Chain A
Amino acid sequence: MPGVWVFAETVDGVPKPVVLELLTKARSLGDAAAIALGPGASKSAATLGQYGAKKVYVHEDPAFRDVLATPAVDVLARLVETEQPDLLIFGMTYDGRDVASRLSARLGTALIANATDVTRKDGGWAIVSPMFGGSLLVTTVPKTKGPTLVLVRPKAVAAEPAGSAGAPEVQTLTDPVDSSKPVARVLRRETEKASGPKLEDATIIVSGGRGLGAPENFKMLDELAAELGAAVGASRAVVDAGWKPYSFQIGQTGKTVKPTVYIALGISGAMQHTVGMKGARTIIAINKDPEAPIFKLADLGVVGDVHKIVPQLIQEVRSRKGK
């Protein structure tokens, strides 16, 4: 069985949701192991085991939390050399991307990004990634010796606990963190709280684009979202323009979402955006441009003025909820 490792990003000992998705995939490909780094890492071992990690490497040094990428790359490079895994899977997250990219340069091995699936092929790996906003699927094979590194997009795999998982073997690492090299150090963390459900978990998402015309018009989206119990999202154009914080952004450089209903308001449907939302079960789009690409994805498209339709829709929803 090939050795398949998952870079297990944890926050205070809780694995990020993407980690459980990656482990679900990893255990179907070989002997799954997880590497959890930072304070509280050992606490995550039980959950990582439930999702299929037979072995969990943990290192509790606070440097893994406070310094970007480099301490993790150091410890991974050392482990790879001694344990020789065949495949390393990372989530396509901020930290996952930095760590995997640096590690690929350190090891000189293949890094394949944006993956939505990993399969075995002719004794090697074949990695599937969407291109052009998901209209094309390309299969890439690594050509290097040594472990292949893959960055898998969040929500590409549904996380499922392993049926018969026992407690994983835990190996606690204590090797000192190299403090001689210049590093990028986190000074403080700021959160931009949004009301309502989190985008990643929401059943309904109401999302706005440049077609809203002005930042104050997001108020009607907030209102509609509140009526529907929905989360509010935004396109990159809107975030780049500073109308909404980045934590609202859906798309290639933002979040990937899979709600039951996605309501796109004034969003043209650039590939950058659609790659993050086309997994929605149902898509509703309102846009004044009948040629907008979003209408090619939408289950229901309304060609019209969002400024007129959205206030009417809020009223419609209110009156129907009363019944």
Chain B
Amino acid sequence: MNVLVCVKQIPDPNAPGKLDPQTKRLVREGVDLVLDPGDEHGVEAGLQLVEKDAGEVTVISMGPPKAVDAIRRALAMGANRGILITDPALENSDAISTARAIAAAIKDLTYDVIICGTESTDGSSGAMPAQLAELLGLPLLSFAKKLEVSQGKAVIDRQTDDGYDVVEAQLPAVVTVTGGINEARYPALRGIMQAKNKDVKQVGLSEIGLDGQAGKAALTQEVVEATPAEARKAGEVVEDKGEGAKRVADFLRALKVI
């Protein structure tokens, strides 16, 4: 069983995000960059598949050269090798360019399952995995909160509005996982040491045959305006000194809901 896991490096989601007022792009300078927490669940899901059944986990990412740190984190968790697609022409890419670049970079690899998070924590469009599946002509098992792979098939529990659907596809397939699928492991010290020696291949657009077909050359959209949303007016904040519950009940009564 060979598993590919797509990961993204993002600004620390616990720090408030900022847009550059000039370029309307996410400010990445002076912000801690981390492996997207959603992708840790993808790496974990991949590791669990190969631990049950022999095989290897390859981690793939697109980003600036320092995105290699996110790949190293996945390698420290136990993934076997990494691929980083990095090219100045890919800066500020749309999701579709990311999907194109990943599809091109994995063209010659053999894999059974491609795992992605359902959406990145920073961009949160969630479009890339389905676009990747479409470009590769593969089925997409999306929003998985449970994944089982056996006998050439993958079966997931797919979240729905009022429960879940059990959905099946032949391999190879693309799977997106939710945070509920597993508890992602912390890298052990030994894993961190080993990760330093694991192979991370860096490729640019020309090496994957996409010169002029992804990134800046193929933007599908442009952010033209960014304005602060009308903020909710913060109300009163009181400290509970035994009267807190009464205050809330008074408030509910004033709203005529009790």
Task: Enumerate chain A interface residues (CB-CB to B < 8 A).
Answer: 68-70, 73, 93-94, 97-98, 100-102, 104-106, 108-114, 126, 130-132, 134-144, 151, 181-193, 203-204, 228, 236, 239-240, 242, 245-247, 252-253, 255, 260-261, 263, 271-272, 278, 282-284, 286, 290, 295-305, 308-310, 312-313, 315-317, 320-321
Contact = CB atoms under 8 A, between A and B. Distances in A.
A40 B40 CA distance: 41
18 contacts: A69-B130, A93-B161, A97-B130, A102-B140, A105-B99, A142-B221, A151-B125, A186-B167, A187-B168, A191-B162, A228-B252, A246-B145, A246-B159, A247-B161, A247-B163, A282-B255, A300-B251, A302-B240
Contacts of B246: 312, 316
Give chain B's interface secondary structure class: mixed
Interface of B: 13, 16-17, 19, 24, 94-96, 99, 118-119, 121, 124-135, 137-143, 145, 155, 157-170, 173, 178-180, 219-229, 231-232, 234-240, 244-249, 251-253, 255, 257-258
Contacts of A302: 237-240, 244, 247-248
A255 B237 contact: no
Given A98-B142, A304-B239, A246 B178 contact: yes
A271 B149 CA distance: 34
A101 B130 contact: yes
Give chain A's interface secondary structure class: mixed
Contacts of B145: 246
The 5 closest A-B pairs by CB, nearest first: A304-B240, A101-B130, A312-B245, A113-B125, A316-B249
A192 B162 contact: yes
Nearest to A192: B163
Contacts of B142: 68, 94, 97-98, 184
Contact of A309 (B167, B173, B244): B244
Nearest to A69: B140
